[in-house]
Chain A
Amino acid sequence: GDSVTQMEGPVTLSEEAFLTINCTYTATGYPSLFWYVQYPGEGLQLLLKATKADDKGSNKGFEATYRKETTSFHLEKGSVQVSDSAVYFCARVKAAGNKLTFGGGTRVLVKP
């Protein structure tokens, strides 16, 4: 079935460090891929998305490229800030109107 696997946290970084969160998905169908961010005490917010192979989603300095050959959608940011501390979820949706499948979430803590 559909599944999403992402690296376990917590990931602790210093401000201005480089962040990578790995995410891989099962290659059933041609899914759209997403990264969501959840700040403490809040619901999820869409961070970025990609709908087909080789697409690059970007937002707020974060980027992720849809890699069909490695079934990956790794999230990166070149210089993190304390305000980036949150839980990040990788997700996929298989087809129109279908439900999202989430990875387990990765908690990121950025220290000043």
Chain B
Amino acid sequence: GAVVSQHPSWVICKSGTSVKIECRSLDFQATTMFWYRQFPKQSLMLMATSNEGSKATYEQGVEKDKFLINHASLTLSTLTVTSAHPEDSSFYICSALRGDTEAFFGQGTRLTVV
């Protein structure tokens, strides 16, 4: 199957700093990528839809200035958590859309803000 690589797989940062997470589709082009957040023992919550060459579409309640998304190429989307705080600690997962409906997921990034 197609491969989506997410980096880093885990990161610890100090409160107030920013963290960038990368999502790459390694063997296909993805005009659309999605960013999810997963709390412990809970389902995935869609944060935003990342569209190559245009602004991301954020879900209701997600702060676009806090979670900056850039989709500069057909194989790379980045999520930057700005001025991170402990409540931002979570498991972040990206997915890339191949074709119309085939979504492939990255392995996730565990963010811990101390």
Contact = CB atoms under 8 A, between A and B. Distances in A.
Contact of B101 (A36, A41, A43, A93): A93
A32 B97 CA distance: 14
Interface residues of A, number: 21
A56 to B, nearest CB: 18
A103 B43 contact: yes
Closest 8 CB pairs of A and B: A96-B100, A43-B107, A44-B105, A43-B108, A43-B105, A104-B43, A105-B43, A102-B43
Interface residues of B, number: 21
B42 A104 contact: yes
Interface of A: 32, 36, 41-46, 51, 89, 93, 96-100, 102-105, 107
B1 interface: yes
A44 B43 CA distance: 11
A30 to B, nearest CB: 12
Main SS of the interface on chain B? strand
B67 interface: no
B104 to A, nearest CB: 7
Interface in B39-55: 41-44, 46, 49
B98 to A, nearest CB: 11
Contacts of B95: 44, 100
Contacts of B49: 99
B76 interface: no
A99 B41 contact: no
Nearest to A94: B101
A107 B1 CA distance: 24
B101 A46 contact: no
Contacts of A45: 105
Most chain A beta-carbon neighbours within 10 Å: one of B32, B44, B97, B104 = B44
11 contacts: A36-B105, A42-B107, A46-B1, A46-B104, A51-B101, A97-B101, A100-B34, A100-B46, A100-B103, A102-B43, A104-B43
